[in-house]
């Protein structure tokens, strides 16, 4: 018999969690302050990254660290005033990126990534979202022949280990594949397993609509009002208080704000990021990631989307989009970008953990409280897989992968 369940947060992770629970016969209310897929899940590059079997490790080379410290690229920015607040999480992140610690973390990460496209596939079909999805991968492009050669060796080794498909393109083949690129480049790597989505927020919205078709309830409310009751949990919504036996925290970068008052001190931190769309020029066939400059250019419904790397800042700090300005400069070296669509760049946040793994499973200190957050750069990729995993845990069923590496218990 199904239970009544609250799911807090209607991004990709929360929506997929609610959807998997509804598919299993539970009565689910999906609660968010806004519409599904309008926050973090809206702002990414729209790539379901089946090839991303290794999480982003903290850089170890002195040259890379110097570049970050001096803000030389478009991939990292930091606010001096925010460093004390994130220092603890970043120091643990650095320690966990050491080779001996990183290896088991990457293995656990890969086990989830392996289910990324296979778990999205049935949801895409059920939600009628095939028109949003392109299934022929994306490109890593290189400006430097030596970095292309190194990356090719690493990519081919990774592909062999994980059963992936990667194809190297020389400069002429790249120009034929992507004639919109205005600069001759030495080559590219075509990762063929990922899928690309032309409107990430719309995909989440269609998953949420399918959730409602299954009997799920989408309601506007404030997750910060979550309180324990004798029977379970209650949250205040525009329809009044909603109660359930169980509650799932799937709040992404806002999870920590809810959990600290409940007594949880998890090593979480936030990376901010920016994007902007451009129209009027030639279009790319598929997204390209300029590894030598840290810039992604993705063809979207609204135009070519330029995305930035990570900004370490207070989550509520005013925007400082100089990274995007630099990314635009680099992107214009490769592509004609005549007209920005938005008057101001979009700004969002990514939820990160100090060991690069998401937090999925039961809350250690509260009965009926469950966690599904901390997916960093891959919440859009991993939403269906982690939603299924949590639903299996909540039902006490055998799980698709060993769930122990993602439990909050790992933090003590």
Q: What CATH number has the domain bearing residue 43?
A: 3.50.50.60
Tally helices (H) and strands (E) across the chain.
Answer: 11, 23
pTM of the model: 0.95
Residue-level length of the chain: 412
Is residue 344 included in any domain, yes or no? no
395 occurs within a structural domain: yes
Place of tokens 């050491």: 98
Residue 365, in any domain of the structure: yes
Could you tell me the pLDDT band of residue 1, with boundaries at 50, 70 and 90? low
In a domain, 11, yes or no: yes
407 falls within a domain = yes
Q: Are 132 and 202 in contact (CB under 8 A)?
A: yes
Q: pLDDT tens, 256-291?
A: 999 999 999 999 999 999 999 999 989 999 999 999
pLDDT in tens, 61-118: 777 766 766 677 677 888 878 788 778 888 899 999 999 999 999 999 999 999 999 9
Burial of 324 (0-12, 13-18, 19+ CB in 10 A): buried
Kindly give the pairing relationship between strand 303-307 and strand 295-300: antiparallel
Q: Is residue 45 part of a domain?
A: yes
Element of type H or E holding 350? strand 346-353
Residue 18 lies in a domain: yes
Query: Residue 35 domain-assigned?
Result: yes
Q: How many domains, in total, are found in the chain?
A: 1
Domain span at 124 = 1-57+98-134+194-267+356-412
CB atoms within 10 A of CB 265: 11
């Amino acid at each position: 018999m199904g239970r009544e369940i609250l799911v807090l947060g209607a991004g990709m992770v929360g929506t997929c969690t609610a959807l998997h629970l509804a598919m299993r016969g539970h009565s689910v209310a999906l609660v968010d302050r806004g519409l599904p897929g309008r926050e973090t899940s809206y702002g990414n590059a729209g790539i379901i990254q089946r090839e991303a079997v290794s999480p982003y490790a903290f850089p170890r080379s002195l040259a890379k660290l110097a570049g970050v410290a001096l803000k030389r690229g478009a991939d990292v920015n930091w606010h001096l005033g925010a460093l004390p607040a994130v220092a603890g999480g970043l120091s643990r992140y650095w320690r966990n990126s050491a080779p001996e610690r990183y290896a088991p973390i990457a293995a656990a990460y890969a086990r989830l990534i392996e289910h990324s496209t296979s778990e999205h596939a049935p949801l895409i079909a059920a939600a009628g979202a095939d028109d949003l999805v392109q299934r022929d991968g994306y490109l890593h492009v290189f400006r430097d022949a030596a970095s292309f050669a190194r990356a090719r060796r690493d990519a081919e080794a990774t592909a062999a280990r994980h059963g992936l498909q990667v194809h190297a393109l020389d400069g002429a083949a790249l120009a034929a594949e992507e004639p919109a690129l205005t600069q001759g480049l030495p080559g590219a790597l075509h990762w063929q397993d990922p899928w690309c989505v032309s409107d990430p927020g719309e995909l989440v919205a269609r998953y949420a609509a399918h959730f409602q078709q299954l009997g799920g309830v989408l309601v506007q409310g404030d997750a910060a009002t979550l309180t324990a009751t004798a029977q379970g949990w209650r949250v205040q919504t525009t329809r009044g208080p909603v109660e359930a036996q169980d509650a799932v925290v799937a709040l992404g970068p806002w999870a920590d704000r809810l959990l600290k008052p409940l007594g949880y001190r998890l090593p979480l931190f936030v990376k901010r990021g920016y994007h902007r769309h451009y129209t009027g020029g030639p279009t790319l066939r598929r997204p390209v990631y300029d590894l030598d400059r840290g810039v992604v250019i993705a063809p979207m419904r609204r135009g070519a989307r330029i995305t930035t790397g990570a900004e370490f800042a207070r989550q509520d700090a005013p925007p400082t989009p100089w990274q995007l300005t630099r990314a635009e400069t680099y992107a214009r070296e490769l592509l004609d970008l005549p007209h920005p669509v938005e008057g101001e760049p979009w700004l969002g946040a990514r939820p990160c953990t100090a060991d690069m793994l998401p937090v999925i499973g039961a809350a250690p200190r509260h009965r009926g409280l469950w966690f599904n957050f901390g997916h960093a750069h891959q919440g859009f990729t991993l939403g269906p897989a982690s939603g299924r995993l949590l639903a299996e845990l909540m039902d006490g069923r055998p799980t698709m992968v060993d769930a122990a590496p993602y439990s909050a218990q790992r933090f003590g």
